Structure 1
Amino acid sequence: MCGIAGYYGFGEDEALLREMNSCIVHRGPDGEGYYTHGQVGLAHRRLSIIDVAHGQEPMFSQDGQTVLVYNGEVYNYLDLRDELVALGRTFRTVSDTEVVLQAYEEWGDAAFDRFNGMFGFAIHDRRNNRLVLARDHFGIKPLYYANAGTAEDPKLLFGSEIKPLLAAGKLDTSPNERILFRYLQFRIHDEEAQTFFSGVYKLMPGEKLVVDTSPGATSGFTVSPYTRFKEELAELAKIETPYSPAVIDEYRRRFTEGVRLRLQSEVPVGTALSGGLDSSAVVVTINKLMQENAAATDSLGATQQTFSAIFPNSINDEEKYADAVLATCTGNVTSHKILPKAEEFAVDLEDFVRTMEEPIISSGPYAQYRVMQEASKHVTVLLDGQGADEMMAGYIPYYFAYLRQLKKNGQRAKLAKELASSADILYRLGRFRLRGMVTAKKPLAISSLLKKDFTAAHKSERFANIADNLKLRLIDDLFHKSLPAVLRYEDKNTMRFSIEGRVPFLDKEVVKFLFSLDDESIIKGGWNKRILRDATRDLLPEMISNRRNKIGFTTPEAEWFILMKEKIYEIFLSSSFGARPYWDQNAVLYAFEEYLTGKSSASTMVFWRLLNTELWLREFFDEPEVKAGIADKSDYAPNADKQLDITVPAAGKGLNGKESDGGTYRRYPLRTEVFYKDTDFDPAVMGYVDRFFTGLPQAGDEHTAVTSGTPWYLFVSEKIVAMTQGRSIPVWDIKVTPAARTLSRFVTRNPGGIGLASPWSMQLAIDEVGLPRLLYAAGRSVIGKLQGKSGVFYEVVGHNINAIDGAAGYQVGTSTHSVKYAPLDPDGVAARLSALVRERVPAGFATTFAGTAIMDANDLGVVALGHDTALSKTVLEAIFKDNPQGQTTETTPMSLVFKR
């Protein structure tokens, strides 16, 4: 298993290849190789599995005219090698790579259809002036490409992942909004060649891409099938071989051989075990091969190592099923159990999104991600049960397709029998739907969350399944609707941790045989996967053979989303989420709130698609956010786009009754750690004051300004005061009333702050002063505006309401998802801090210290909520009228201010 990258049309540029290849080290940590010739460049990362000592790539033919980089395994390579030897060919290695290379030399593109395995490769055929890319019959291994040139004069980039194409720096890509809409609206992806990246495509299963590399050629490139495999399956489906014991025996033989072939390896092999029928069948088949000392089982070692994700006490837990399988393999198995947790998922979320490269329909594949992470410590190859569902009707909708097929064909007796036999399945499905109707929970359609302009631009998009033909539906899902997405998860998760994933159900010959059988081999008497159940019945515990409820490698998403609500709110409340042209942020927040409180029957997959898209956009398209750290700004430097000095006029009288002089003031904003509810406020503030004086320069303008003997002050943001007083309330703890939701819509939201423009902050205002007073203030405000007056609303309700801050994504810490009241007793807090300052600072500064002010400042206005200085509030507010502090990502919520 490996990773490949390359190009056509960029000359001999090994530096470009190295840049592309550096993105996929995880796919091949055992080696790398490069090749350039004319306009072709090939790069390779190797994960050594077969012929570890040899098989390095790029691999050259014996005459040097054919060059191959290859990702995958061809499991019938030994049979093909014997056939090629019989034709007079000789081999230098025992690798399947050389078999692929010589098969192409012998049979050309026709060789690809002979391969039974998984592959994505590139061949530079210098003799025939061709560059050929090809992907396996099922699309188990990925192969992406993009054209940075024109149709007539292509400049192609290609690779096993999308990251190398982006890293080349040759593409000007953007989100593919059509694919994004289909994903959000229909919950579909990977069904076609287009990806979520505009201009980036993937070869579909069984396709090849060919470029004419003749000098001066401008014929472009072609993409076409190299096989009729999909059509062959449809033709075989018409044969309908009757179900019989002989058919079961033949299926068992073919499936067992498919498993045996996938044990070929020179490095340790293990198995993924979910507890479902498919993975359990693989485990017990391997166990039987071990008992028989069959060829290739030496790759397993002394015991078969299995890897299972478990979720104790969760509805998704399958541990008892996995344990039943393990019990049948006692003595031949070593079990590894992984317990993915919500808090781990929250930590891994960004890496998981990066690993997947494109959005996915649920968080379920994270369970597989964690399994592969653990498995990589023990094995290099892992067999998995993917693909069985799509070929043997593993999902409930297949029952309906089969029932509709029977009805369409007039098979009424069989239809009645199947309806009766499927009663428990149909009842379970109906029960969940009926429960939503009985409880009167609101349904949630994602279309209600999407922006109308976005929806209107893609209103012509449609999605439909084959409704009444079981095998044609299965074929469609194998190559378009379902399996391609599953295989993407499989490839990305395994290769993220340098593991080769093998899927024995997707053996080309096994699938052909299955599709030649009667439909009753797949569904009969309400049982799906009938032939697999019968073929493994003597190997599996009865509770597995007769199991009808399917879970698979997934996560308890509904439970996790409640535990992760802080992380989810942080994303949904973020400025970037609110700025996207795809969804209505307020509608999403309201819907999520309704979901958490049990008022809607929304599926977590709706919210997951929004989360996944947002994180994907941040990862692949947004400029990296530069987050300020505590050491990034000197205590003696201003914040970006701010000034240290400000001149204010004299105005009003201070607390001592004397006229307060204006003048020039220097404001030094102090960068701090983020303040939280449990921050020990007084020592924390004093620590930053100490730091300022300890690091004070001994010469220069700062030294002169600070040591001039003039009065100086401590200005503190009311935000951190309120936060540490427990006056910050998480949005999920605020019970929003209809009045708050309605009133908040009439408040203008602006870049300077949320204020009362959110239903949560409006609710706190209602709780603080009462709804009648708010309504009265609103009326007075309207009259005031007609009279040319501003600020009337807050004059009526009080500045404590003005100080209420809404949750906002541009803030830091818990402020991203919490609403904050005004602080309690700001005058008292100011006096307390002033006393501490006088005790802590050097004596000379203690005598000139003139007090503390608690300020509510943002880009729209400033209010001095409390102070113990001799300055009037008017002067205090004038000193801060340009808001020199930063309470968001700047994290400078306090300042030392010196009169100049």
Structure 2
Amino acid sequence: MCGIAGSFGFGASTGDIVARMNDAQRHRGPDGEGTFTGGSIGLAHRRLSVIDHEGGAQPFYSEDRRYAMAYNGEVYNFTELREELTALGHTFTTASDTEVVLHSYMQWGTEAFDRFNGMFAIAIADTQTDTLVIARDHFGIKPVYYWFDEQSGRLLFGSEIKSILAAEQFTPQPNDRAVYRYLKFRVQDEGDETFFQDIRRVRSGEVVTITEGGLSAEKYTTLEEDLKELAKTPGTPYSEKVRDEYGERLRESIRMRLQADVSVGTSLSGGLDSSAVAAVIAEHLKQGGDDDVYDSVGSRQNTFSAVFPKSNNDEEAYVDSLLNRYDGQIAAHKIHPDASSFLTDLEDFVRTQEEPIISTGPYAQYVVMREATKHVTVLLDGQGADEMMAGYNPYYYVYWRQLKARKQFFALAKEMFRSRDIARKLLMAKMRLRNTTSMEPLLNSEFAERFRNEKVSSVSDNLKMRLIEDTFHNSLPSLLRYEDKNTMRFSLEGRVPFVDKELMRYLFTLSEDAILSDGWNKRILRESMDPVLPDMISKRRNKIGFTTPEQEWFVRIKNSLYAIFKSDSFASRPYFDAPTVIALFEDYIKHPKNHGTLLFWRILNVELWMRQFIDPANGVAEKKAEKVIEHKSPFVANPGKELDIRSSHDQKTYRRYPIQTGLVDRDTRIEDFTEQYLADFAQQAKPEDLPAGKDWYLFISEKIIAISQGRSYFTWEIKPSIGANVLSRFVTRTPAGIGLGSPFTMELAIREAGLPRIAGAALAGAVGKLVGRKGLFYDLAGANVRAIDGPTEYSAYPSNVSAKLPPKDPDAVARRLSAMVRGLDLPADVLAGFQGTVVMDANDLGRNVLGSDVSDTEAALGAMFADNPLGQGRQQTPLAIVIRQD
């Protein structure tokens, strides 16, 4: 298992390009690396040694050096092919399948690829004809992507998109059509298009040839067409013999994938498919067979499971049922992903997947692979069985329609009755779907209009045809992408025994009742594996698989997700109607049971994908970061402000140094926080900046004090009362959104001063407006109510998504901070001029001194901040040193 990359047509720069590409996917092969350049072609290879540690180094060359090959994957029937090639006169110097792959191409050309049974992405350079050939296995288990410029004839390819981007030969742009189809229809991994404009994937069973004359792509196999022909025939009737034959073929497929010179383990979700793989191996160990191929497993099989105790989708009970049955043959590893780890890993997880995905489900696989790589190098998994044997409930609909179309009404009635529990689940799912919000209202109208003619369709009344469609085009390609990305991120080889062309060919020679019968899907798998599986697994009806408790997690991490939706970058995207998305997410926060998370995840995933892959290459990330918080010196004024002000109160000049800080939360100790930044200020200051011999003050924003005291609340934590909802309607919102014109802030006012006082103040305020007197409401409600702030869009998180009460006992806070200042290691003449601390509520509309320990009047202190020098933007400058200049 490895990573391949390469180029065509870059001349003298080829070596540097392929080196960068190879370095970008070093995680795919930590055991070795190599490059080749010749003619127009460059190849690069990263190696994860699995078979023949000594003899499989790549690029691999033919004896005459005409051919050079970079190969990723495993061809499981390489022993048989080597014997055939030896009979044809070929000689071999290694024990690796790599050499067999190259000699097969030398013997049969591109027809060789159809002879392989395995997973592979292969690039072969013919130095004699200056031709590059790239091929991908029959199912597309191993990925390979390419970028081709028709005008210049240049090409880049790689196992990962990251390696193509690392070549730095073009600026990546999003494929808007792919983004739309993903958002609207949940389509992904479709055809040869990717989410990147001009980057394509080699399709399953396809060979791409590049010469100076251009690029051509064609199928090397007729596997899909052969299966469709088999689907048109009635097939062999199901029987005990057929069942046993399938069981033996599955066992052989598993056995083939145990070939390795390194340790092999199994991914165990608790579902039927992965449990069948683990059980076959465990049963062999239990019986003590002498087959050498099982040596790679060891005396006990390592299994790896993601479990979510107390969550609705937890499968630990099923996992345990298998572990208990094979207690002496399995060494179990259980991993416990949670919302916190998901949030921590989110950036790397998005980068690992390279393109948006339908749900957070693959994260469970991601954490399993991270643990598995500590114990094994190869991991078997159960992917593919669902698509080949109707493992998902909607396949029942397809089968019922098929029976109806064929006028097999008795069989239809029988199947619907036997699967009435499935019918009920399908009906409930359909009703839930009707009640959920569609994606369309959340999209930018211009974006949606561009693609309004896009459609999706699937075979709806032919079971086998639908299975073929989903195996090669719809469902399985995405699962195989997750498998490859998650395993190779942690230098692990994933193998999928169900995704075997001979196993699938045999399955499709059988009648449909081998797949779905008497209300049971995967019939032949269930019955053939029944002897080695607990009934709890072989007869289970509910399918979960590698998923996460996404609904529970989103509720727990809603603050972080909300901040993303409220960000400048999200608002700037051409895909979304940001205010509508935010409003819907706010409703989700208040009523999570009324919403699903799949819609929000798709929107979030596109945003995070753009930040990860598109923004940096287009110079956007730096601009966004500067807009969020510009790193600045405290000796430079905030934008649009001045350091000095002439006080209207005493006609003296004051200099205000705005100090930039980090964010504050409920765990912040405000004295330590302030001391840290004052010490930094003193260290940066020049002698002329320090207030030696001058009067000076420390001003601190009341916001950060309130937050540190736990008096700031996310809007979804506040449940407005009837009184708050009614009274807030009569308050005019300020342009910045500050004040009590919101049910959230009005509710805080009622909590702070009581409903009678607030209602009375509101009445007085209404009368005051009639007679032309302003401010009566706040005069009667009190200073604490005046200081209540609502969420302000332009403020730093969390102020942009929260409402807050004024700080508790601000005078005491001021005294504590002043005591801290006087204890600092500052020059005596500087400390002598310190007048004290001021807790200030200032904005562009006015000033309000909430607390202080200085002798100056509130009017004098307010005049020092008449222009709000700290601003309300994301400069994050909640502290100021204020020095009297004359």
Residue 897 of structure 1 corresponds to: 882
The within-5 A match list for 1:281-680 is: 281-290=276-285, 291=287, 292-431=289-428, 443-598=436-591, 601-622=594-615, 623-624=620-621, 637-638=635-636, 641=639, 645-648=643-646, 650-652=647-649, 660-663=650-653, 665-680=654-669
How far residue 329 of structure 1 moved from its aligned partner, in angstroms, is 2.6
Q: 1:4-403 maps to which residues of 2 (within 5 A)?
A: 4-12=4-12, 13-147=14-148, 149=149, 151-212=150-211, 217=212, 219-239=213-233, 240-290=235-285, 291=287, 292-403=289-400
Please say if residues 241 and 516 of structure 1, whose CA atoms lie closer than 8 Å, have aligned partners that are also in contact: yes
* More divergent stretch after superposition (822-831 vs 589-598): 822-831
SS at match of 2:532: coil
Taking the aligned partners of 1:167 and 1:670, their CA distance within structure 2 comes to 39
Alignment partner, residue 715 of structure 1: 699
Q: 1:66 to 1:877 in 2, by over 3 A?
A: farther
Give the direction of change, closer, same or farther, for the CA distance of 1:539–1:671 in structure 2 (3 Å limit).
Answer: same
Q: Secondary structure at the match of 1:63?
A: coil
Please, which moves more after superposition, 171-180 or 447-456? 447-456
Return the letter of the residue paired with 1:235.
E
Contact 1:385 1:503 in 2 (8 A): yes
Post-superposition shift, 1:711?
A: 1.6
Pick closer, same or farther for the CA change 1:427–1:352 going to 2, 3 Å. Answer: same
3-state SS in 1 of match to 2:518 = coil
SS at structure 1 position matched to 2:521: coil
Provide the C-alpha distance between the structure 1 equivalents of 2:373 and 2:322, rounded to a whole number of angstroms: 22
Q: What's the TM-score, normalizing by structure 2?
A: 0.90
What is residue 657 of structure 1 aligned with on the other side?
none
Following TM superposition, by how much is the alpha carbon of 1:481 offset from its aligned partner in structure 2, in angstroms? 1.1
Stretch moving more, 261-270 or 250-259: 250-259
In structure 2, give the amino acid aligned to 1:293. D
> Equivalents in 2 of 1:827, 1:661: separation in Å?
27
Decide whether aligned partners of structure 1 residues 792 and 491 sit closer, same or farther in structure 2, where only a CA change above 3 A counts: farther
Once residues 214 and 783 of structure 2 are traced to their aligned partners in structure 1, the CA distance between those partners, rounded to angstroms, is 69
| Aligned residue type for 1:271 | T
Report deviation, 1:187.
1.5
Give the conservation status (yes or no) of the 8 Å contact 2:696–2:882.
yes
- Rounded to whole Å, the distance in 2 between the matches of 1:533 and 1:829 is 69
Counterpart residue identity of residue 662, structure 1 = K
Cα deviation 1:616-653 (Å, max 9, x = unaligned) = 1221123446979xx997976336757773142x423x
Query: In the TM superposition, what is the alpha-carbon distance from 1:245 to its structure 2 partner?
Result: 1.8
| Total equivalences in the alignment | 867
Secondary structure of 2:457's partner? coil
Give the 3 Å change call, closer, same or farther, for CA 227–755 of structure 1 in structure 2.
Answer: farther
* 1:408-465 deviation digits (Å, cap 9, x = unpaired): 110001001101110122123335666x69xxx9532232322323222221111222
3-state SS of the aligned residue for 1:587? helix
CA contact (8 A) 1:573 1:807 kept: no
The one-letter code matched in structure 2 to 1:384 is D
Structure 1 residue 393, shift from structure 2 partner: 0.1
Helix, strand or coil for the counterpart of 1:296?
helix
Change (3 A) 1:133 1:897: same
What are the superposed Cα offsets for residues 476-533 of structure 1, whole Å, 9 maximum, x if unpaired? 1011110011111111110011100000001110001111111111000001001111
Map of 1:655 onto structure 2: none
**What do you get for the CA RMSD once the two structures are aligned?**
3.4
Q: Deviations over 1:262-321 (max 9, x none)?
A: 111001001111111111111122234443322411111122111111122222121221
Greater Cα shift, 801-810 or 450-459: 801-810
The 1-side partners of 2:197 and 2:667 are apart by 47
Q: Cα offset for 1:766?
A: 7.5
Q: Deviations over 1:184-241 (max 9, x none)?
A: 11122112211111221111111121111xxxx3x32122222111111101112312
CA distance in structure 1 between the partners assigned to 2:732 and 2:155 by the alignment: 52
How far, CA to CA, are the matches of 2:248 and 2:730 in structure 1? 68
Residues 21/331 of structure 1: CA separation in 2 closer, same or farther (3 Å cut): same
SS in 1 for 2:494: strand
Q: Any idea what SS the aligned residue of 1:141 has?
A: coil
Alignment correspondent of 2:829: 844
Taking the aligned partners of 1:864 and 1:322, their CA distance within structure 2 comes to: 62
Distance 1:306 1:709, change over 3 A: same
Provide, for residues 670-729 of structure 1, a one-character-per-residue CA deviation record: whole Å limited to 9, x for no partner: 344432223333454355445545x376xxxx3134244222111111211222333201
Rounded Cα–Cα distance in structure 2 between residues aligned with 1:29 and 1:85? 32
- Do the aligned partners of residues 793 and 433 (structure 1) sit closer, same or farther apart at CA in structure 2, a change above 3 Å counting? farther
In the alignment, is the contact (CA less than 8 A) between 1:639 and 1:886 conserved in 2?
no
1:51: how far off?
A: 0.9
Amino acid at match of 2:166: A
Instruction: Check 1:773–1:451 CA distance in 2 against 1; reply closer, same or farther (3 A cut).
Output: farther
Give the distance between the partners of 1:111 and 1:744, measured in 2 at CA: 78
Secondary structure at the aligned position of 1:538 is classed as: helix
Secondary structure of the 2:517 match is: coil
Aligned position for 1:656:
none
Aligned pairs for 1:782-797 (under 5 A) are none
**Contact conserved, 1:594 with 1:600, CA < 8 A, in 2?**
no
- Note closer, same or farther for the CA distance 1:29–1:779 as it changes in structure 2 (3 Å cut): farther
Shift of 1:142: 0.7
CA contact (8 A) 1:736 1:763 kept: yes
**TM score, norm. by length of structure 1:** 0.89
Of 446-455 and 330-339, more deviation after overlay is shown by 446-455
Q: CA–CA distance in 2 between the matches of 1:208 and 1:646?
A: 71
Shift in alpha-carbon separation, 1:726–1:165, aligned structure 2, 3 A:
same
835 and 62 in structure 1: CA distance in 2 versus 1, 3 angstrom threshold: closer
**Could you tell me which amino acid in structure 2 is paired with residue 181 of structure 1?**
Y
The letter of the residue matching 2:168 is G
CA–CA separation in structure 1 for the residues paired with 2:770 and 2:153? 63
- Measured after TM superposition, the shift of residue 814 of structure 1 is 4.1
User: Quick one: which amino acid aligns to residue 668 of structure 2?
Assistant: T
Letter in 1 for 2:218: S
Q: What is the rounded CA distance, in whole Å, between the counterparts of 2:157 and 2:475 in structure 1?
A: 24
Return the alpha-carbon distance in structure 2 between the equivalents of residues 23 and 895 of structure 1. Answer: 45
- Structure-1 residue corresponding to 2:802: 818
**CA distance 1:830–1:411, shift in 2 (3 Å):** same
Which one-letter code corresponds to 1:249 in the other structure?
Answer: D
Cα separation, 2, equivalents of 1:592 and 1:608:
11
Amino acid at match of 1:86: A
The separation in 2 between residues aligned to 1:604 and 1:78, in whole angstroms, is 48
Q: Would you say the 8 A contact 2:764–2:776 is kept in 1?
A: no
